[in-house]
């Protein structure tokens, strides 16, 4: 699940966001024990539908 944060729009190109990714369950690959991965901010880019069209 993502929580939206402010969006930065570059006209004619696309938009950048920095949504928060919820904490989730994962596994330690060395010990195979379950662990909780904390909430984190992830970069995201969304191109405009007109970007790249001629």
pLDDT per residue as tens digits for the range 5-52: 678 888 888 888 888 889 999 999 999 999 999 999 888 888 887 766
Its pTM stands at 0.53
CA distances, 40 to each of 12, 31, 36, 47 (Å): 29, 23, 12, 23
Q: Which residue has the tokens 């970007």?
A: 51
CA distances, 26 to each of 4, 9, 19, 32, 40 (Å): 23, 33, 20, 9, 14
Query: Count of CB atoms within 10 A of residue 24's CB?
Result: 11
Q: Which residue has the tokens 């662990």?
A: 35
């Amino acid at each position: 699940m993502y929580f939206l944060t402010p969006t930065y729009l570059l006209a004619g190109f696309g938009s950048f966001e920095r949504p928060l990714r919820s904490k989730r369950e994962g596994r330690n690959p060395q010990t195979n024990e379950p662990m909780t991965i904390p909430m984190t901010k992830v970069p995201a880019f969304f191109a405009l539908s007109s970007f790249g069209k001629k």
